Amino acid sequence: MGNSEPSRGATGIAALEAMTKEELIQVCLDDAKNWLAHDGLWFLAVEKDHGMDAAIEADRAAWEMFTVIEARRILARLGLEPGGGIPALVRCLEHRLYARLNLQETVEVSRTRAVFRMNDCRVQSARNRKGLPDFPCKSVGLVEYAGFARTVDPRIKTRCIACPPDEHPEEYCCAWEFTLEQG
């Protein structure tokens, strides 16, 4: 990779340790793109064989498990314990694989509430470039975002503000409200 001399036989962690910061950043971006490409190809294969409804149901089931794994790994990497409230959730959202690829922001942040917006989603942007309608991902998003937030802190409740097939403004593809329930 890059300008460094190729490492003969270095694999895994040793290969990563030999890379420059710029090379590591590129690996992170490439890995995130590969993950998203696999996710999309997997979905298309299920859709082709079983139809859109079955593919969305399978996607929901996969995200229900994956989002918990992703949240737990991010918490561990950041040295956080579950139960950190909205500040922990906002921090963890910045470390999701999607955050490497999509333009997102968290707004209206307080100790008890935050609104998260996906301003540019690679999936929706690709569909738009092809002249296709938005992918109807709301039912998957409900499982994904609620499960992620609940893993970070079981007191956090999630509400969809807008997500396809819902109408949404041009400035974002989807938006989610997270509130910390007291009690």
Model confidence at 161, in pLDDT bands (50, 70, 90)? very high
| 7 within some domain | no
CA 183/CA 181 separation, integer angstroms: 7
What are the pLDDT digits (tens) for 47-92? Answer: 999 999 999 999 999 999 999 999 999 999 999 999 999 999 999 9
Domain assignment present for residue 5? The answer is: no
Instruction: Read off the CATH number of the domain in which 38 is found.
Output: 3.30.1380
1 in any annotated domain: no
Enter the tokens of residue 175: 């938006």
Q: What is the pTM of this model?
A: 0.89
Inside any domain, residue 4: no
Question: How would you write the chain as a 3-class SS string?
Answer: CCCCCCCCCCCHHHHHHCCCHHHHHHHHHHHHHHHHHHHHHHHHHHHHHHCHHHHHHHHHHHHHHHHHHHHHHHHHHHCCCCCCHHHHHHHHHCCCHHHHCCEEEEECCCCCEEEEEEEECHHHHHHHHCCCCCCCCHHHHHHHHHHHHHHHCCCEEEEEEECCCCCCCCCCCEEEEEEECCC
- What CA–CA distance (Å, rounded) separates 96 from 35? 12
Residue 90 lies in a domain: yes
Query: pLDDT above 70 covers what percent of the chain?
Result: 95
Residue 6 lies in a domain: no
Residues 6+ apart with CB under 8 A from 71: 92, 147, 148, 151, 152
Give the pLDDT of residue 9: 64
Q: Give tens-digit pLDDT for 24-35.
A: 999 999 999 999
What is the band of 133 on the pLDDT scale with cuts at 50, 70, 90? confident
Count of domains for the chain? 1
Q: Note if the bond before 165 is cis, omega within 30 degrees.
A: yes
64 domain-assigned? yes
Residue 2 lies in a domain: no
Whether residue 177 contacts residue 110, with contact meaning beta carbons closer than 8 Å, is answered with no
For residue 112, the enclosing domain spans: 12-180
Closest alpha carbon to 137 in 121, 151, 115, 150: 121
Mean pLDDT on 171-181: 97
